[in-house]
Structures are given as C-alpha cells and as structure tokens.
Amino acid sequence: MSAPLLEIEDLSVTFNERMAAVRNASFRIGRGETHCVVGESGCGKSVSALAVMNLLVSAAKRTAKRLSFAGEDLLAMPEKRMAQLRGNRMAMIFQEPMTSLNPAYTIGSQLTESYRRHKRASQRDATARAVKLMGRVGITAPEMRLGQFPHQLSGGLRQRVMIAMALMCEPELLIADEPTTALDVTVQAQILRLLNELKDEFGLSILLITHDLGVVARVADSVSVMYAGEVVEHTTARQLFADPQHPYTRGLLSCIPVPGKSQRDKPLGSIPGVVPQVSVGFSGCAFRSRCAFADADCAGTINTQTATADHNYLCRLTPTRQKELARA
Amino acid sequence: MVRFILRRAALGLLVALTVMTLAFMLTRLSGDLAISIAGPGATQEDIEIIRKAYGLDQPLYIQFASWISRALVGDLGNSYFFKDSVSNLIAARMPITMTLGLVGLGLALLVSIPLGTLAAMREGTWVDRAVTVVTMIGQATPSFWFGLILMITFGLTLGWLPISGTGSWQHFVMPGIVLAMTATPALTRLTRSGMIEAIASDYIRTARAKGLTRRSIIFKHALRNAAIPVVSIAAVQLGFMLGGSIVVETVFALHGVGFLAWESIAKNDFPVVQAVVLVLATIYICLTMLSDILNALLDPRIRST
Amino acid sequence: MSIAISLPPVRVRTFRVGNVGFWIGVAICSVVVLAAVVGNALVPHDPFAQNLNNRLVPPFWMEGSQPDHLLGTDQLGRDYLARLVYGARISLLIGITTMIVSGLIGTTLGILGGYFGGIVDDVVLFLITCRLSIPVVLVALAVVGLLGSSLTLVICTLGLLLWDRFAVVARSTTMQVRSLDYMNAAMCAGASTPRLLFREILPNIASHLAVVATLEIALAILFEATLSFLGLGVPAPLPSWGLMIAEGKDYMFFSSWVIMIPGVTLFIFVMGVNFVGDGLRSLLGAERPR
C-alpha cells in the first residue's frame, strides 16, 4: 500500500477540558479505500470526523501525535489554509439532510458556491458542473432542481444534493457522517451503492461513520470499532466479520440477525447498559462496566494486542481465553 | 398566499372596528361633551347650541353609528378647535410623523443588526455582555429625558443641531435618535438570538465544511436567515414607534400627528383625539399585515405554501 | 459489577448579566424601597413647602450650594432631595399596583386561552391583537386628559393597557404545561378544571410570570414618568420624577441638574428593576418571552 491519504495517530478531543470524547484514536485511510468507523452513538465517531475537518465547536479541544492529510500536517495548519482544503480536497456530508442545507438559498446557489470559491470558476461553469454531478448522483431533471429550495426536496434527494455538493471540487477524501441513518431503507441502499460507484469512478477515499454493521459489510475495506472515545479494534472488513477479537465487537455482531444462521427460537444478542461518558483522566477499559468477562485487572492499563499484521485490538483477553471464560 | 392575505385583512378589519368602538367610548367617558367643548364660563344656552350643532343631543348609539359610517368612507368629522376637517389636519401632519418614524427605524436597524450580530459572534464573551448591558440601558432610559439631554448636549453646549422645529433634515436627527433608542433593544436582542440559532445550525456547519470564508458564512448564510424575523418585526416596531412619536414630537415641538393629538387632548378636541387613535391603530394593523407578508416573502419555506 | 464513571457538571456559559447584575439590581431596589418607606422621615424638609426666596439652589457638588439642601431646591424653592425621596413612593406605588392590575387581567386571559384553546384562544389572541394596536401613551393621555389627572386613574389606565405581555407569556407557558404528562395524569385522576388551573398550571408558570412582573413594573414606572412629563399623569404638586423633569424643563439650559437628578434616579431605578428581572430569569430558568 502506498502512503496513506489520511493518517491519524493518538487523536484526542476533550470538551470543556472535562469530558473526553475521543481518546488516543489512531487509524489510517489509503487512497481509494473506504474506511468505516463503527460504534454505538456517543462513542466519539462524529467528533473524530469533525476533528479531522477542524470543525469542532469552540468548547472542544483537539490534540494528536499526528494528523496528516496527503502528507500535510493538519495540526499546525492555519485556519485559512484549512478552509482552502475543506470542500475542495476533503469534503463532508452529514447525517441530517433535512437541516444541512441552508433553507434561504436555492439548490443551485448552494451547489456552485464552493466550486466558485475553490476553483475560481464562473457561475456558468459551476452551474454546468452542478448539473452534470446532479445527474450523476441520480437526481432527475437537474436543471429544474437548480432553482428549487431545500424544503421542496425529499430527504433522499437532499442527501443526493449534499453528495453532489461534496463532489463539486473532486475531493480526494469524502467524510460521510451517518449519511443514510435519516433515510428510508430503500433509499439507504441506493445511497450506499452510489457511494461505492463514486469511489471507483473518482478514486475517492471515504471515511464512513456508521452504527450499522450492515453498512460496514457492504462498503468497507477497513474498519475501526470505537467505544467510549477509543478505537477498540482496527482491522480489515473481512477480518472483522470472520474473526472479531474485542468483546465489544463480538457483542455488536451478535446483535445482527443473519438470514439462515440466526435460529428462530434463540434470542438475538444484546449488550446491556449504555455507553458511559468518560471524563478526562479515566483509565482502564471503558467497556468493563458492560463486559461479561471483566475482572479487577481491567481497571489497569490495557495494552494493544495484535492478532495478525493488520488486525489489532484493545483488550487483555484473547478470544480463546474469552471462550474459556464463557464456558466456565 | 392570496387566501392568507385575505384572512389577515379580515382580521385586521375586525381589529379596526374594535378599536373604533373603544376610541368612541373613550371620548364619551367624561360624560357631557358639550360642557367640555363650551369651556368654562359658557351659558346654558351656549351649551345647548353646541349640543345640537355637534349632534350630541342624539342617543349614543346613533352618534356611534354615524361616526362609524362616516369614518368608513374617510370622513373623520370636524375639529372643534381648528375649525377644519380632521382628515385634513391629520393628512397635513402625517408626513412629519412618517419621516420621523422611518428615520427612527432606519437608525434602529443600522445600530441593532451589527450590534446583535457582533454579540452573537462573540457569544458568552465580554463583548456579548457589553451589548446586553447596552440594550438594558436603552430599555431603562426614559425617552423624553434622553431627548432633553440630547437637546442640552448637541443643541446648546455643542450647537451642532437645531433644538426644535421642522425646518430641515437636521431637525429630524435628534428626534430620530430618541425614537430609534426605543426600538433598538428589542431589535438587537432579536438579531442576536436569531444569529446564535443560525450559527449553531446544521447548514452553517455545512457552509464551514465547504471551506467558505468566515465573512461569507456569517453574512451570507447566517445573517440571511436571522434577518427574516428582524425585518418583519421591524415593521411592527415602526407601528409602535409611530404610536410613541407623541412623546418625541412633544419634546422637540415637531408638529406631527402626535403633537396634534397632544394639543387636542389639552384642548378637549375629541374628534381629533379619537381620529388619531383610529388612524394610528389602522396604520399599526396594516404594518402587522405587512410584517406577515414580508415574512412570507423572505422565507422560501412559507412563500411556496 | 459497576464502575463509577462520573462526569462533573459542565458549566454552561450563559449570556446573562449574571449574578452580579442581579445583586446590583436588588441593592438598587432596596435603596429605593427604603427611601420610599422611611426617606421622608429622615429628610428634614417638607417636599411641598415652598420658599420663593430660595429658588433653584444648586446641589452640593456645585458652587453656591447650601448644606441644608443637599440636592438643592426647585423653581419654587422646594427641597429637591425631599421631593426625590417622595417621588420614589409614587414610582413604587404606581409600578407595583399597575403590575398587579395588569397581571390579573393578562394572566387570566392567557391561562384561559392557553388552557382551553379553540374559540377561547382565538378570542384571547384577538384581544391581544386589539390591545397591541392601541397606542398606549396616546390613549392613556386621552383618558387622563378627559377625566382629570389623579393617581388612581393613572394606575387603572396603565393597568388596563399593559397586560399584553402577561397574556402572551401566560398563554404560551400554559400551553406547554398543559401538554406535559402529569397534566394528563391529573386530568385522568378526575381533578376539576378550577383545581387544575390553580393547583397545577399556576404554580408551574409562576416563575415565568414573576419575570414578566418585574419587567412590567419597570415599564409602568417609565410610562408614569412619561405621562407626568407630558402634564397628564400624577397631578402637581405631588412630586413624581417625570413631573420634576417637566417642571425643570424650562430651567434646564441654565441649570441642567434640575433634570439630571430626577432623570438619572429614574434611569437607575428602572435599570435596577430590569437587572432583578434578568437575574430572576436565569435563577428561575425561565426564558425570555418573545
């Protein structure tokens, strides 16, 4: 694999210097690769993405050992240079297509805005490109849509507009924060297929945030599982489903019904409890309050273990040991 | 949209009729109008003549009906004191009051929109707090007293501006400032809260994610949305300001509608008083309608429904 | 097994002037109340006693002042401090009584509209619209001009004119409270309507009303001063601050302190009341009525 496009090493985000939203998260995304960050809500997935884009609210503070995009250091980058990257070489789409578009401006003006700014293009060129991309993302009658306002469009259409908007400047990295969560199931599938196609067509790298392992199975090349701000397991998509290591990952997987495999009379798995909010200075495994295998040692320092070359996880126990404990 | 306007107009008419009734009742509060008009020292005979001449000998409901029916076609009766039709009197003085109101509103918007935006952009900092204190000061300052202070400072001590009268545009500066002060706190607060809401919204996050400049994010994306309620409330504020112009006009001796009303109250000239109440209320009703229509025009979400 | 993962409460940065402002407001209001209650017992002069040989004596910081008259005397030679202190009584009286009158009207209308909805609410909204379209100062002036100025009349007139904000806030908060679950529970338990209104609704909207009440006091005080200034408020020789400014107006170009003293006092008092209102709002967690 060539040099990765986005490298994140030991990224931490705190709010008001009290709450640790992201703790020492590390992952990397290669060019043309789709990387999924998965976990329950409140695990710090969106915050990590916003931290990459430097779009965090002012109460949040971001630190990292390394945060680089296409070889450029994002940590020390001045806001002005950062603004030149955003919407241009790295673009983002959000979970809420209903509110993410400005209600006061037409689709056309919002689509062309970033292209005109970043590429110094004329309104005419920008409009032509907008029409082309709208057609590409599956919006019918794009010329008509240009003059419409966001409230006149359905949720699925708005998310397509958001995707078209993100692609206007041909970015290298697309960050998609739960892009399908707010949509109908059929539309979800269409959007995911579209993202997959676009990835190949434009050579995009995609950072996809989701809580849905079904989505991961469909699009991911590699996966980070996040829990309470930490990346607890990091591996390829294939490995994750074939040989999950972390008890949390295994818990998540047991929650999904698999046609033909899940037995009717046996209940689906579930993880009792909720994701804790972790304050600064917390130590030990954050999952231990919900973990079936936890003991006193889990409050100590947990070291990263390696299963295979590109598979590591954050737990004291090996899967073999977990199985033994489960039997006992 | 047409239905919406028609419904608002019907409501406005109903309100206007209610205010007319109230204005009529108001002037009949004191009991015998004829005695008041005749003034002290009038003989019983004089009073009887006046009572007949002004139709005050008729039952109240007939007086009321005739006032309403004539007012609906624009005839507001005759002034007892000025010996002229009330419509003429008001029409002659309305331009001054309107000028004053518009100057005041313009100044108020000129101050409150930048101030509110600034406070919102620096939410929670000392700048924000300072703006809050400024709006509270504006709210707590008695407008007539503020007018007098301006007179002493700019009229007398510095000699920059004329103290009273209506000769030139300079005459409208101080009254305009005083009137603006009465509307600025509300408009500033509205701008501030609207901007804070806009800045925290998802579409501003989108705009930032698009790498737009800070200026474009604040002024194009946030302010455009925050301005919608401000502009429509500004129309309502203009209505309040015209109603409040009586104070400013009296302080600065601007011979507008408010001054006319004040004079007429002092002279027991009731047809003028009830007519001014009616006219100001009608203008207010029209302005609230305008406000709703403006709101609909500015907000694409309402416009298309 | 459970582990304690506690999160210390995050202090939300609020925009209010905050506690400092609240206590400043309380201090100002206390001083004014104190002055109104015992002030005239402490000031050695009668606020009504004229002395035409000793007119327009300047206050203590200016040349020609007399130690006897700390704040000087007015155009009729009456002691300014005594009149100012007496004026506090007038302002307070009018502010509080007007607030009570308008509060009763507005709250009743607002609760009825918010609770019953439908036609009742339409009528209440219509009344609010009518009230807002009436120019307050003009109508108040007209009433006082017609019936002759008296304290009672000023209070009644202002009370009848300034209930709109009470009604708006009572209406919207009642609607909110009504939609809450415990209201349904109380209704299902068979509580009577008056009981619901007084025992469930009123206590729950009281904090919002308290904030409105302080703001209305400030507003009423300002309106009284305005009416008195225009010569149609509190009848002379009662010393209202507004009337003092009106009486001093003819002399303001030569001795500006005659309007500065009552004006600044009025301003500071209204500011103080507003500070208390603002502080109450953040203390009680009520939101600013729109």
Domain stop point among B72, B104, B130 = B72
Specify if B221 maps to a domain.
yes
**What is the reported pLDDT for B303?**
65
User: C161 touching B, CB under 8 A?
Assistant: no
Q: Do B258 and C278 touch (CB under 8 A)?
A: no
Instruction: Give the CA count within 13 Å in the CB-facing half-sphere of C148.
Output: 3
Positions of chain B with pLDDT lower than 70, given as ranges? 1, 30-33, 36-40, 303-305
**What is the reported pLDDT for C265?**
93
User: B3 touching A, CB under 8 A?
Assistant: no
Specify if B300 maps to a domain.
yes
- Residues B59 and B27 occupy one common structural domain: yes
User: B7 touching A, CB under 8 A?
Assistant: no
Residues paired with residue A206 on neighbouring β-strands, in sequence order:
A34, A174
- Residues B165 and B103 occupy one common structural domain: yes
Phi, then psi, of B47 in degrees rounded to 5: -60, -45
Closest CA to A69 of A57, A86, A56, A55: A86
What is the pairing mode between strands A173-177 and A60-63? unpaired
- Residues B28 and B123 occupy one common structural domain: no
Residues paired with residue C66 on neighbouring β-strands, in sequence order:
C69
Residues paired with residue C44 on neighbouring β-strands, in sequence order:
none
Q: Do C1 and A289 touch (CB under 8 A)?
A: yes
> Encoding tokens for residue A89?
């070489």
**Which residue in C143, C146, C252, C278 has the most chain B C-beta atoms within 10 A of its own C-beta, making it the best mutation to test that interface?**
C146
Specify if B201 maps to a domain.
yes
CA–CA separation, C284 vs C290, rounded Å? Answer: 17
* Smallest CA–CA distance from C270 into chain B, residue: B140
For C98-102, what is the mean pLDDT?
95
Q: Do C133 and B148 touch (CB under 8 A)?
A: no
**What is the reported pLDDT for B39?**
67
**What is the reported pLDDT for C288?**
44
CA–CA separation, A85 vs A69, rounded Å? Answer: 10
Helix, strand, or coil here: A96? coil
- For C13, other C-beta atoms within 10 Å of its C-beta total 12
- Residues B156 and B235 occupy one common structural domain: yes
Full 3-state SS string of A258-317: CCCCCCCCCCCCCCCCCCCCCECCCCCCHHHHCCCCCCHHHHCCCCEEEEECCEEEECCC
CA–CA separation, B230 vs B117, rounded Å? Answer: 12
Cα distance from N-terminal residue to C-terminal residue, chain A? 43
Which residues in chain C are contacts of A16 at CB distance < 8 A?
10-11
Q: Is the separation of the CB atoms in B226 and B198 below 8 Å?
A: yes
CA–CA separation, C196 vs A70, rounded Å? Answer: 66
- Residues B7 and B106 occupy one common structural domain: no
Per-residue pLDDT of chain A in tens (328 residues, 90 and over written 9): 467 899 999 999 998 888 888 998 988 898 889 999 998 888 888 899 999 998 888 888 899 999 999 888 988 889 889 999 998 999 999 888 888 999 989 999 999 999 999 989 899 999 999 999 898 888 888 899 999 999 899 888 898 899 899 989 889 999 999 888 877 888 888 888 888 888 888 889 999 999 888 888 888 999 999 988 889 999 998 888 888 888 888 888 887 777 666 666 666 777 877 788 888 888 888 888 888 888 888 888 888 888 888 888 888 887 777 777 777 6
Give the distance from residue A114's alpha carbon to the nearest chain B alpha carbon, in angstroms.
6
What is the pairing mode between strands A222-227 and A230-236? antiparallel
Query: ipTM of the assembly?
Result: 0.87
- Residues B67 and B106 occupy one common structural domain: no
pTM comes to 0.83
Specify if B19 maps to a domain.
yes
- For B125, other C-beta atoms within 10 Å of its C-beta total 12
- Residues B9 and B130 occupy one common structural domain: no
**What is the reported pLDDT for C271?**
93
Place of tokens 């809500």: A41
- Residues B256 and B157 occupy one common structural domain: yes
Question: For position B92, which CATH number holds?
Answer: 1.10.3720.10
What is the secondary structure of C186-228 as a DSSP string? HHHTT--HHHIIIIIIHHHHHHHHHHHHHHHHHHHHHHHHHHH
User: C176 touching B, CB under 8 A?
Assistant: no
What's the Cα-to-Cα distance from A130 to each of A98, A117, A291, C33, C59, rounded to whole Å? Answer: 20, 14, 49, 68, 74
User: B300 touching A, CB under 8 A?
Assistant: yes
Domain formed by C17-40+71-284, architecture: Orthogonal Bundle (1.10)
Domain stop point among B25, B43, B72 = B72
User: For chain B, percent helix, then strand, then coil, each to nearest 5?
Assistant: 80, 0, 20
C11 falls in which pLDDT band (50, 70, 90)? Answer: very low
Q: Do B301 and A149 touch (CB under 8 A)?
A: yes
Closest CA to A235 of A308, A141, A137: A308
Tally of domains in chain B: 2
Closest CA to A104 of B201, C263, B253, B47: B201
Q: Is the separation of the CB atoms in A226 and A44 below 8 Å?
A: yes
Q: Do B213 and A83 touch (CB under 8 A)?
A: yes
**What is the reported pLDDT for A130?**
93
What is the pairing mode between strands A304-308 and A60-63? unpaired
Q: Within the 267-286 window of chain C, which residues sit less than 8 Å (CB to CB) from chain B?
A: 267, 270-271, 274-275, 278
- Residues B55 and B103 occupy one common structural domain: no
Chain A positions contacting chain B at CB under 8 Å are 53, 55, 83-88, 91-92, 94, 96, 99-105, 113-114, 117-118, 149, 151-152, 162, 165
- Residues B146 and B267 occupy one common structural domain: yes
**Which residue in C122, C138, C229, C281 has the most chain B C-beta atoms within 10 A of its own C-beta, making it the best mutation to test that interface?**
C138
* Residues contacting B198, CB < 8 A, separation 6+: B204, B221, B222, B223, B225, B226
Specify if B179 maps to a domain.
yes
**What is the reported pLDDT for B30?**
63
Domain stop point among B22, B42, B72 = B72
Q: B20 lies in which domain range?
A: 2-72
Instruction: Give the CA count within 13 Å in the CB-facing half-sphere of A89.
Output: 14
Which domains are assigned to chain A?
6-89+169-327 (3.40.50.300), 103-162 (no CATH)
Which residues in chain C are contacts of B228 at CB distance < 8 A?
none
Q: Do A103 and B209 touch (CB under 8 A)?
A: no
CA–CA separation, B264 vs A307, rounded Å? Answer: 95
**What is the reported pLDDT for C220?**
93
C27 falls in which pLDDT band (50, 70, 90)? Answer: very high
Which residues in chain B are contacts of A99 at CB distance < 8 A?
201-203
H or E segment to which residue A235 belongs = strand A230-236
Phi, then psi, of A269 in degrees rounded to 5: -70, 160
In the predicted structure, residue C45 carries a pLDDT above the cut 70: yes
- Residues B210 and B102 occupy one common structural domain: yes
CA–CA separation, C271 vs A239, rounded Å? Answer: 68
> Encoding tokens for residue C150?
């008296």
Domain boundaries, chain C: 17-40+71-284
- Residues B8 and B113 occupy one common structural domain: no
Q: Within the 174-203 window of chain B, which residues sit less than 8 Å (CB to CB) from chain A?
A: 201-203
